[in-house]
Amino acid sequence: MSVIDNYTGSSKGIRFLSDFWTEHYLKEYICEGGSKIKFVTGRPGSGKSFFLRVMKEEADRLNYRTVSFSATEVWLHDFKEIYLEILNQCDILQCLKKCADQIVISMGYDPTDIEEGRTFLDMLSSQGLGDALTRREIRQQLRGMFLQNPLMDNNFAIACSLLTGSILGHPILEQQNQELLLGWLSGDKTVKLSLLRALGMSPARITKYNSRHMLRSLAEVIRMGGYSGLLILIDDLEILQSRSGMDGIHYTKLRREDTYESIRQLIDDIDSLRGIMFVFAFDRVLMDNDNAGLPSYQALWMRIQNEITGEKFNRFTDIADLDALAYQVYTPEYLVSISEKIARNAERNAYEDHVLTTDEAEKLIEDSRFAGTGIPGLVREAWRNSFDEKHEGVDSNV
């Protein structure tokens, strides 16, 4: 990230919204068991990707498991692909290790007392406490955490119970069966379903039809492991309406509509989830394109576009327009202060001889209403244009 991108991105406009969502959602609603879907839009250069980075930093600080990826890298038309990406980034074994620690604590012990390379049962046995009653207590703890949890899929719960038991040292799970369970959880198509029966599981694969239930189960594992919740950030959703053959992922009409339907179902099911927040970000074009954008799929469009709008930006809104926010919080004086910060922190002295004047900032705000770029992006352009005029031949992308 260049100096210019850093200081125009980290504007008070972004913080005005991210601080609010952090306070009211991450610190309160989500960690108390609620779930939410939010959308962030704006023109290119409005700060959407930076906003997602800020939210990730805040969530990490608040002990959330965070997942962040671009729609240009992961197919969205099949919710199974979304689930698998989330599972991969969450590191299921690390989450189950946290669940095992919670069981150790509930039985009156400190997980940090377990030596590296030893299990909880190993430690108890060395103290003469690895008897049948203790083993029975571990099994009961596993049953209560996973198998008796109504929010977890039965197969998912069995797999997590067996893997967590192996971490604790009881019941013992052979390496081959550990790999089998991890393969099934990660959607490995080579897993032989018949082998699952021996572990008490149904011979069924993870598909786009049951993957939302699997996600709910994963969120429960994360919550039971002591995390605040799960934050999922998905950027570049505008690729859904792109016709460019140069994109690594190209959506046909059918796949695009499958994606919209998948998001629609997620909205309808969100109240059945717990401790999850989704944030989708996309360029404004996705809302303005009637043929391939969000308005083209009425079942989804009707659920996200019927909010009451007013003169002031509503920070509770489910579709946050960063362009509208910019006109409320970016004043000419603030844009001048941004250019001053860039000058003070530039890596080359060549940048220090230009700061926006108030008149230039006022004109920039006025021009932005007719431009295809958000205000932060226009500040970047103004800086680079000024640099190119005064320092021809020098790289402006610091």
pLDDT single digits (tens) 326-341: 888 777 877 777 777 7
Alpha carbon separation from 88 to 68, 80, 91, 175, 266 (Å, rounded): 11, 12, 6, 20, 20
Tell me the H-state helices in 63-174: 79-90, 92-106, 120-126, 132-142, 154-168
CA separation for the pair 14, 388 (Å, rounded): 28
- Could you tell me how far CA 106 lies from the centroid of its own chain? 30
E strand map for 319-377 = 319-321
CA separation for the pair 138, 145 (Å, rounded): 11
What are the sequence ranges of the domains in the chain?
A: 90-211, 330-390
Q: Give the per-residue pLDDT at 356.
A: 72
Q: Count Cβ neighbours within 10 Å for each residue of 105-117 and write b for 16 or more, e otherwise.
A: eeeebeeeebeee
Instruction: Count the alpha carbons within 13 Å of 11 in the hemisphere toward its beta carbon.
Output: 34
Residues 239, 67, 48, CA angle at the centre, nearest 5°? 50
CA separation for the pair 381, 388 (Å, rounded): 10
Q: Give the per-residue pLDDT at 32.
A: 96
Contact status, residue 233 vs residue 26, Cβ threshold 8 Å: no
- Could you tell me how far CA 277 lies from the centroid of its own chain? 7
| Number of residues in the chain | 398
Using 70 as the pLDDT threshold, list the residues of the chain that sit under it: 1-13, 245-247, 306-311, 342-354, 382-398
CA separation for the pair 321, 25 (Å, rounded): 18
Q: Give the per-residue pLDDT at 3.
A: 41
Q: Tell me: cis bond preceding 171? Omega within 30 of 0 counts.
A: yes
Nearest Cα to 18, choosing from 279, 331, 310, 234?
279
Q: Compute the radius of gyration of the chain from its Cα atoms.
A: 25
Q: Give the per-residue pLDDT at 15.
A: 85
CA separation for the pair 340, 331 (Å, rounded): 14
Residues 364, 3, 354, CA angle at the centre, nearest 5°? 50
pTM of the full structure: 0.87
Contact status, residue 78 vs residue 206, Cβ threshold 8 Å: no
* Strands laid side by side in the 65-70 sheet: 65-70, 230-235, 276-283, 35-42, 319-321
Greatest CA separation for the chain: 81
